[in-house]
Structure 1
Amino acid sequence: MLGPEVAQPSVADDTTKPPCTCVIAHVQNEEERAHVQAGLDNALKNNDAHAVLVACLQLMQPCPARDELVTR
């Protein structure tokens, strides 16, 4: 199961980007991505459907704080 440290967004070194304000906090850097990916792998191994869902939502895009919005 994913721990509380995965759900909390870390303070990024780049202060020009706003923090993630999504209901499920997306990963903001490669360290967080690796941590969430490890949690996803563990959840899949243990058949934890709720943790799989949360990890997948954390890895989904787009996040307005992380990604530039593209107008079409």
Structure 2
Amino acid sequence: MVKYQYIISKKGDILFSIAVGAGAYFMYERDNPRPEGKGLLELINRRRINLIQEREALRQERLEKLQQREDKA
């Protein structure tokens, strides 16, 4: 059986890789900023709002179908 070798430790390697990735992302964004309104937080917020609107539209459709069924009965 192969014993795995870790750089730091089993959990330490995970934390180290997340820290290095986050640091690289923020350094890249600092050197190459996105256009106004296209930043990560704006994109995440816009996606969240779109998901909420889609969910509410589906909910409204279900309510209308349910009301139509009740009207027929």
Q: TM-score w.r.t. structure 1 length? A: 0.29
- Which structure has the larger Rg over C-alpha atoms? 2
Q: Give the structure, 1 or 2, with the largest relative contact order (CA under 8 Å, sep 6 or more).
A: 1
> Which protein is richer in helix relative to its size?
2
